[in-house]
Amino acid sequence: MVETIKIDNTGLTNNPLDPESRNKINSLIESSPSDANATMKINKTKLGYRGILKIISSQGVFKAKACHRNLKDMFNSLISSVDTQVKTWRTNRKFDDAIDCA
């Protein structure tokens, strides 16, 4: 799989995403429109972590912001919010070239 996740981890000494976290993002990308890619910004603050996750495609942008004392909880909040948006898109999308077989 081509790397489709760009991470800006300002204030952190290393990449905050373990393989499990990357897999969650890749799963979201695979559920998104075919040309989707992801960007994530994570900042360490005095009170914990602040993050923004965007999945960008020609169909639109799915995005979430979250703040939390714990990095994993902040990340899970981002994933949950974007996952809900992607599921809503998958349910409501319409195809212009629908074929009536009746």
pLDDT tens, residue by residue, 15-62: 667 788 888 988 999 999 889 999 998 888 889 889 999 999 988 899
Count CB neighbours of 102 within 10 A: 2
**102 in a structural domain:** no
pLDDT at 96: 45
pTM: 0.79
Strand partners, 64: 53
Residue 86 sits in a domain whose CATH number is 3.30.160.100
- Whether 55 and 37 have beta carbons less than 8 Å apart is answered as yes
Report the percent of the chain where pLDDT is more than 70.
75
**64 in a structural domain:** yes
**95 in a structural domain:** no
Total number of domains constituting the chain: 1
The range of the structural domain enclosing residue 70 comes to 18-90
Residues 6 or more apart whose CB falls under 8 angstroms from that of 24 comprise 79
pLDDT at 43: 87
**99 in a structural domain:** no
Q: Does the pLDDT at position 67 exceed 90?
A: yes
**56 in a structural domain:** yes
**4 in a structural domain:** no
